[in-house]
Amino acid sequence: MENKNARPAEAETSANHTADTSNLATAAQRQRMLEALRSGPVSTFDARARLNILAPAPRVKELRESGFVILTKRESLPDERGIVHPGIARYVLISEPPAKAVA
């Protein structure tokens, strides 16, 4: 029997499968962003809506400072109301820092 009240499955995006988004600590936000980037590109809108990261640019900057290579693409993207905004950042993880050798 079909459940008529069931919500349709969300399209799978890199930002859909994340850990606890209620933790607002900088380190937790940085970890959520990294996990999402490992799955694919993340836009500013994705980060805000699905990762609960209102300012993703500082988290990306911190990841870059830790050795992650992250490309920023500027695109025209629609918000949740369908209004297209120019210049929205979409972040793409290019490479991770090499693992440190254990002596």
- Interaxial angle between packed helices 56-65 and 26-39, expressed in degrees from 0 to 180 and rounded to the nearest 10: 80
What amino acid is encoded at 1 in this protein?
Answer: M
The chain-wide mean pLDDT, for the chain, equals 86
Q: How far apart are CA 33 and CA 15, in angstroms?
A: 8
- Over residues 11-54, the pLDDT tens digits come to 444 444 446 899 999 999 999 999 999 999 999 999 999 999 99
Handedness of CA 31, 88, 39, 37 (dihedral sign): negative
pTM greater than 0.95 (yes/no): no
